[in-house]
Structure 1
């Protein structure tokens, strides 16, 4: 069930994006409530909706669909599990069609540097967890929190960047440039 739920959430999210935005949010809220996630994630989802565009809030909602997927070094699918950069890459590809490089340091190099004070949901946050710059990546969800696939034996989860461990290792923030859509 743990592996099926993210796939169902992504399918549902894709269908919901075809509906008018208010209807999509209501349908997604119903599903998240039914699965017991809305009480844990509601403030993050609402913050994303309030502070960024529809595309970024959809990206954050889709990222939340992967909560509980196990960590796997080199993993980049729901079926195999995710490492940190594989998770970020899969979320961006499935949510907005943007294909990011595979490794976290490459993702940092391919995205626009922003100040921590400029963070918006959907931005990337990087950490030095292996004694090298940009060795870990996650997706900012708002309110000082980020979603990521942390380490072996763990699973995709939301954590607070202000915790001492993450705060000491914060390496920088980046924004993924989306292609402009023509008229």
Structure 2
């Protein structure tokens, strides 16, 4: 999918944690069906639905938001549109689950998004192909088929059921999310900020326009709420230093730390097994899995802890 959509889709899915049926592949396929991921301000349907997620005024009035923090709630802004799409779909999934209507709740929610929930109630399911020239019927069918185009094998396969494995799996779902200095937290990716020399890329204030994680917010997100780790790498080391782990005893999900020569901790990641680390490296990069010895300067490796 276009890269500008990915962090917002991940954020929208994370917000709807009560309904796991809302997946990134479902939202991506829906955006493909709605507008083909269009970011043009001329993306307006015959029914006056606007923007990449095609909101009509009445629904937009309920779900409008300024997700990208630019001072306006605009259905043409990618962030605002995708977060509103996620919130609307999350609400519709809830309606589907409490309606008593049999069938795939994803299909019911999609039908409600396209035709309105009243139509789903009227037909006690997805409206038939004979209704409204089959618009809603084929809308649902197309999206369900296209979902596979946005699915792939996990970039990291994690076994086990302990807290460390669960945290690593949670973080692995964020592989490919942009690094944003100061961004992110327990709820998922967030907009970063520039502080001194941090957050800049080629002289540009990259962090303030990027939604993602930095190294410590990714670790905090991975373990929340099982272990409510503090926000910074240094504070996470201080909170867990009494549970040190030797390199030969590392387990998936253990915290790995790097420090400057003066001893101050500047980076943290999660042990991913087989001598690798999952981490958010630096501005301009994405959450990734790399060999432990190449993640940061090898001489800066301080050690590992259990969370």
Q: How high is the TM-score relative to the length of structure 1?
A: 0.69
1:36 paired with 2:40, answer no
SS in structure 1 of the partner of residue 304 of structure 2: strand
Q: Which residue of 1 aligns with 2:214?
A: 83
SS in structure 1 of the partner of residue 190 of structure 2: coil
SS in structure 1 of the partner of residue 216 of structure 2: helix
1:70 paired with 2:178, answer yes
Q: Which residue of 1 aligns with 2:76?
A: none
SS in structure 2 of the partner of residue 159 of structure 1: strand
Query: CA offset at residue 108 of structure 1?
Result: 0.6
Aligned residues: 152
SS in structure 1 of the partner of residue 257 of structure 2: strand
SS in structure 1 of the partner of residue 265 of structure 2: coil
Aligned residue among 165, 189, 195 for 1:57: 165
Query: CA offset at residue 128 of structure 1?
Result: 2.4
Contact 2:261-2:300 within 8 A present in 1 as well: no
Q: Which residue of 2 aligns with 1:105?
A: 234
SS in structure 2 of the partner of residue 158 of structure 1: strand
Q: Deviations over 1:59-87 (max 9, x none)?
A: 21110111121111111241322111111
* More strand per residue: 1
Distance change >3 Å, CA 165–CA 92, structure 1 → 2: closer
Distance change >3 Å, CA 116–CA 142, structure 1 → 2: same
Q: Which residue of 2 aligns with 1:20?
A: none
Distance change >3 Å, CA 84–CA 32, structure 1 → 2: farther
Query: CA offset at residue 102 of structure 1?
Result: 1.3
Structure label with greater radius of gyration: 2
Q: Which residue of 1 aligns with 2:13?
A: 8
1:92 paired with 2:207, answer no
Q: Which residue of 2 aligns with 1:181?
A: none
Alpha-carbon RMSD across the aligned residues, in angstroms, is 3.1
Q: How high is the TM-score relative to the length of structure 2?
A: 0.43
Contact 2:163-2:226 within 8 A present in 1 as well: no
Gaps of at least 5 residues in structure 1 are: 17-30, 177-183
Gaps of at least 5 residues in structure 2 are: 22-146, 192-211
Structure 2 CA distance, aligned partners of 1:146 and 1:32? 29
SS in structure 1 of the partner of residue 272 of structure 2: strand
